Structure formats: structure tokens, C-alpha cells
Structure 1
Amino acid sequence: MTLSRIRINPWQWSVAMGFNQAELVEGATRVLVCSGQTAMSAEGTPQHPGDMAAQVAMSLDNVEAVLAGAGMTLSNVVQMNIYTTDVDGFFAASGSMVERFDRAGVMPASTLLGISRLAFPELMVELEATAVA
């Protein structure tokens, strides 16, 4: 059986924001559940304090590194949880993330949560992905 992804959007407003309400996945043989990825260096040091756009980009870079470790890419992501200490700042900086998912040809189901802080106070965003292949 080949992998199929069916977009479920009873309402269309989320499509304009770059995500589906749900995705029905059939034929998957592997599921990767990623821990939250942040703007952390390979040495475990927070990067880009105060720069939401740079943190979003690096967090997504780190998601891609984890995916690559499992032989996957952004095109395999079916769900993304986004945690941020600044929802408005995230919306202003999220265009690059939407563009990267557009290039991958997917709009994963997503949840955005505003929180008071992350594990390190310098961090403003954390991305948690589920991918299938």
C-alpha cells in the first residue's frame, strides 16, 4: 500500500494560514514523534536571543535535522505543535516556516500555544513534529 495523505478542511480559513484542520494518513509504515526543537546549537546553547525570526528558522532547521536522521524530510510532517512565548511575534515571523512547508508540498495539522516560558528563558519558540513514511 502506498502512503496517502488526505487533507480534511471542513472550513477553509486555516488553508490561508498554511495548515490543514486534519490529515488522514493511510499506508504509513513508520511514524516519527519528535521532541520539541528550539534554537539550540549542537552544543546545547540557546541561540538568537530576542530574534523570533532567527529562532523560528533555526528551530525548523533542527526539526529537519531530526527528520533527516530518520530518512525523512518536511514533506513527511503531518502534525506540528508550536509553543511560543510571544504569539504576535511568532505570527510576524512565521512566514518563512509557511514557505518552507509550501516548498515541501504539505500543510501539516497544527496547534499554536502561547506559553509563559520555555526551558531556557532566551528561547521564544519550540516546534514539536510528527512525521510519517
Structure 2
Amino acid sequence: MEKSIINPWKWQDDRSYNQGVEVKHIESTLYCAGQAAVHPDGTSSDADMRTQLLLAMHNLEQVVSKAGYELKNIARLNIYTTNHPEFFSVFDTFTDWVAKNEIKQVSTVVEVKTLYETLCVELEATLVK
């Protein structure tokens, strides 16, 4: 797999995403359902945004690992949140995770009216290898 990053500007670098990602010579693609702060027993977290984000990232890691991929294979990572300002108040948690895992992705952050039960953030990923 060959992955090329397309950024006509530099301003997105501080926001932990890219304007475009071109992928060639793909062996396989993994489409992940939105991963949120759901505990292993299926109960939804009612914790604060940072705690929910950490659990959502952990759950995404579990799906990615189970499928035999690596987090650096993420090409698209969409973020849904019920509270845009609160999400960006813990954005460092997200940017640190992206950097640590060498993820080079395109992203869209969307504020939604509600997520399931008490959830406040959900991560939807597409991976390639």
C-alpha cells in the first residue's frame, strides 16, 4: 500500500488531520462502525468528554487490532460529538493519540444533536493496507 498526503496549506498540521489522503495499491479496506464509550458489557458511559473519548479510542483500537490492521492504516477518521466546544476542550487527547500512533488521515468533526443514550463522542474510521 502506498499512502500520499495532500496538503496545499500548513494550517491543518496543528489540527491533526490532512486535506487529502491518496492510497494506491491497496490490499484490503476495513470500514469501522462508529466506536463510542461503550463498556465491554454493552453499557454506555456517562462519564465526561475526555473519559468517553479515551474509551472510544480504546474501542476503535480493539476493532482495528482484531481485524489485523494498525492504527497508522487509518485513512479517514470522522468524529461525531454532541458538544463541539467540549470536544475541542479535550482535543489534546485526540491529537496526542493521532501523533503517538502515526495516523495520517482526513477527518471531519460534526456536532450532532444526540448519540445513543449518554454518549457524547463517536469515532468512525476507514483503514487500508
Q: What is the aligned partner in structure 1 of residue 122 from structure 2? A: 126
Alignment of 1:1-133 (within 5 A): 3-47=1-45, 49-120=46-117, 122-133=118-129
Number of residue pairs matched?
129
Alpha-carbon distance between aligned partners in 2 of 1:106 and 1:66, rounded to the nearest angstrom: 16
**CA distance in 1 between partners of 2:92 and 2:13 (Å):** 14
Offset at residue 92 of structure 1 (A)? 1.1
Aligned counterparts of 2:24 and 2:6: Cα–Cα separation in 1 = 13
- Aligned partner letter, 1:130: T
Percent identity between the aligned chains? 33
- RMSD in angstroms over aligned alpha carbons? 1.0
> What TM-score results when the alignment is normalised by the length of structure 1?
0.92
Runs of 4+ in 1 over 2 A off after TM superposition: none
- Distance in 2, matches of 1:130 and 1:71, equals 14
Unaligned runs of 5+ in 1: none
- In 1, the alpha carbon distance for the partners of 2:81 and 2:121 equals 4
SS in structure 1 of the partner of residue 35 of structure 2? coil
User: What displacement does 1:11 show?
Assistant: 2.1
Deviation at 1:96, TM superposition (A): 1.6
List alignment gaps of at least 5 residues for structure 2.
none
Measured after TM superposition, the shift of residue 93 of structure 1 is: 1.1
- 1: distance between equivalents of 2:80 and 2:23? 24
